[in-house]
A and B are shown apart, each in its own frame.
Chain A
Amino acid sequence: MNEVVDIKELNDRIEKESSFVDMIKMEMGKVIVGQKHLVDSLLIGLLSDGHILLEGVPGLAKTLAINTLSKIVDADFSRIQFTPDLLPADLIGTMIYSQKKEEFQVKKGPVFTNFVLADEINRSPAKVQSALLESMQERQVTIGEETYQLPQPFLVMATQNPIEQEGTYPLPEAQVDRFMLKVVVDYPKLEEEKMIVRHNVAKSFPKATAILKPENIINARNVVKDVYIDEKIEQYILDIVFATRFPEKYGLEKFASMINYGGSPRASINLAMASKAYAFIKRRGYVIPEDVRAVCHDVLRHRIGLSYEAEAENITSEDIITEILNTVEVP
């Protein structure tokens, strides 16, 4: 009936390649009750080769989620508890002298894995944070004189506790920008929590089974890159990011004094990448404005610097993003 260009072929390919997404969600759903947004965000990060900063109070299945994902993908997983006395060497590894061989040998750190859970990243000093963030960015680690590639896929999920801020080392803006998404994890709903209680009381924890190999994820990433993003959507993304920098140009004069700095070019790139991954999760071969809007809060909330005035008036980056989405014209 309709004359279809190559988008049809792409759509079919993505329909076929993304079939594992539903399986992953199903397996995750066996272990994680609720937290659908968290699971979606993990998949977006995994498929678009980005890292995730999670913010939420303890006990919201953050560790369980990434642990389950690693089991489903049949990948290695390590959890690093960030503490004030942690050293970069504890993270990336160090050279150890072997008396038997009479030479220095490399002892690789826990960062050499597919999935890393950096628990309470803001409890460690800046040098440890930057060691992790550098390895996140470069996908490689230098120990001594040797540079070692990190395994692929490599996904870091760092957590921050929004309470108990005393004695913490808040991540600098430049470092936070390296995280593709900042996901705010909320409490489960009443029915969901009822299920969680039942599982725990009965001690009958369902187990996820491995349904994928890490190579499948790497292949899927290449497919995600092919998801079509139209020029109009690109313009929409740029309008949103530019509205965080120059709100007055988009009829948001009230925010001009409330934003110290807006989203960086990395914000535009990540918004486009996350939108593609979201379209892939929805098993579509092209990005629509709904995809951009779905990931916009997670991509931008940690990239908007608020002024003292905004804090005084209790305006959050969430409010600003919502207002921008309600103001910028959708193509």
Chain B
Amino acid sequence: MVQLKVYRLYIISLFICVLCYGGAIKAQTVSVDVKLDTTEFLIGEQVGLEIHVMQPKNVSVGLPIFKTEELDQKDIEIIEELTNDTSLVDDKNWLIKKRLIITSFNAGRYIFPPIPVLYYSDTIKSEPVLFTVNSIDIDTTQAIKDIKMPYSAPVSFAEVMPWVGGSVGLVLIILVLIYIIRKIIKKEPIIKRNKPKEPAHIIALRDLEKLKANKLWQKDRIKGYYTELTDILRMYLWNRYSIKTLERTSDEILNSLKKSEFENEDLFLILRDILKTSDLVKFAKFKPLANENEKYLKESFDFVEKTKLIEEVLEQKDDIASSKEKEVEENIENN
């Protein structure tokens, strides 16, 4: 009797366990739904195919790899596979959304094959999706037209700029190279020093002559006379030695001249004397004697003449050198 009771209890327990296990299985059900945006579209049109996988939180599922080559239906093309969008539906279940962009380039009726989802050792498949790809209606009453070329996008400035810049740069480099080669062939210096239209000493000597002719100090305009005298010398120094003299004081001019390796000490002292005396006349009401006025003018002439000579000698040296080179070249040619 007791054994029968134990047997019954065992049977009941087993039945309850089976029921509970079945419930647990049911609670962990995975479902797959596939939906197309539209079941009818034009040839080449891109349509979204959405896959919804509902799964319990504690279960992991495996989605297949979506590739055109993997499909049985070769006329369907998977263009793009978007990333998964996972959301919590309730406390127990996740909803995984997967979106594919598909198209077809052949008109007809197609079936998108069932999508298998791995679930433990089992596989759940979605329902197949049927859709129609329509061809474009051709109006046969109209004349046949030529194929239109693809539209070309407008060219932007940023796209053109590197080419334009590069071309201009290339042209410039070619021009510079031509210039350098021509200079080398002609045996001329590549960079030529700009010279004033008139040599500095010509301007200075002409202005000194004009000052002499104006006879300012004889008319008791001593200050004006020395102002002009120093202005002529300052302009001369500027043109001759490229020293900024107009914005500098006498001391600063003399210092700059020293720095520019002005070697003639006698001429330097003459210039210093002229500038210092001029400062006294201009700023301290100093009135030199008549013979001093003449002396400073004469010394100014001398200064320009003697410093001019240095430049002429250099020019002459250059001329001699270039004429000798020409002679040598001519001899070579004659031989």
Contact = CB atoms under 8 A, between A and B. Distances in A.
A7 B285 contact: yes
B249 A7 contact: no
Interface string B118-151: 0000000000000000000000000000000000
A7 B286 contact: yes
B248 A286 contact: no
B247 interface: yes
Contacts of B249: 288-290, 293, 330
Interface in A275-305: 285-290, 293
B213 interface: no
Nearest to A329: B246
A203 to B, nearest CB: 42
Interface stretch (B23-31, B185-193, B287-295): B287-295
Contacts of A232: 227, 282-283
A287 B284 CA distance: 8
A285 B247 contact: no
A285 B284 contact: yes
Interface in B241-298: 244, 246-249, 251, 279, 282-289, 292
A326 B283 CA distance: 20
B286 A2 contact: yes
B249 to A, nearest CB: 5
B247 A330 contact: yes
A3 interface: yes
A325 to B, nearest CB: 7
Interface in A310-331: 325-331
Given A327-B247, A329-B246, A330-B248, A4 B279 contact: no
Sort chain A's interface into a size bin. 20 to 34
Given A290-B249, A329-B246, A330-B248, A4 B283 contact: no
Nearest to A328: B247
Given A2-B292, A329-B247, A287 B283 contact: yes
B279 A288 contact: yes
A330 B248 CA distance: 6
A288 B188 CA distance: 48
A230 interface: yes
B279 A5 contact: no
A253 B279 CA distance: 31
Nearest to B246: A329
B222 to A, nearest CB: 10
A328 B244 CA distance: 12
Sort chain B's interface into a size bin. 10 to 19
Contacts of A6: 285
Given A2-B288, A3-B289, A290 B251 contact: yes
Interface string A1-24: 111111100010000000000000
B247 A326 contact: yes
B242 to A, nearest CB: 15
A233 B284 CA distance: 10
A1 B286 CA distance: 12
A288 B247 contact: no
A242 interface: no
B287 A2 contact: yes
Nearest to B279: A288
A1 B247 contact: no
Contact of A2 (B248, B251, B282, B289): B289
A289 B289 CA distance: 24
B71 to A, nearest CB: 65
Contact of B283 (A2, A288, A325, A327): A288
A49 to B, nearest CB: 23
Contact of B285 (A5, A293, A325): A5
A285 B285 CA distance: 11
Given A289-B249, A328-B247, A330-B247, A1 B282 contact: no
A245 B317 CA distance: 51
A246 interface: no
A273 to B, nearest CB: 17
Nearest to A327: B247
Contacts of A325: 247
Given A290-B249, A293-B249, A330-B246, A4 B282 contact: no
Contacts of B292: 2
Contact of B284 (A3, A230, A331): A230
Contact of A230 (B247, B248, B283, B287): B283
Contacts of A7: 284-286
A176 to B, nearest CB: 28
Contact of A4 (B227, B247, B287): B287
Contacts of A287: 283
B7 to A, nearest CB: 96
Contact of B287 (A3, A285, A331): A3
A11 B244 CA distance: 31
B227, B247, B284, B286 interface centre (most CB from chain A within 10 Å):
B284
Contacts of B284: 7, 11, 228, 230, 285-286, 288
Interface of A: 1-7, 11, 228, 230, 232-233, 285-290, 293, 325-331
Given A2-B292, A325-B247, A331-B282, 7 more contacts: A11-B284, A232-B227, A285-B284, A286-B283, A288-B283, A289-B249, A290-B249
Query: Which 5 residue pairs of A and B lie closest in terms of their CB atoms, listed nearest first?
Result: A286-B284, A7-B285, A289-B249, A230-B283, A7-B284
6 contacts: A2-B289, A3-B287, A3-B288, A5-B286, A228-B285, A328-B247
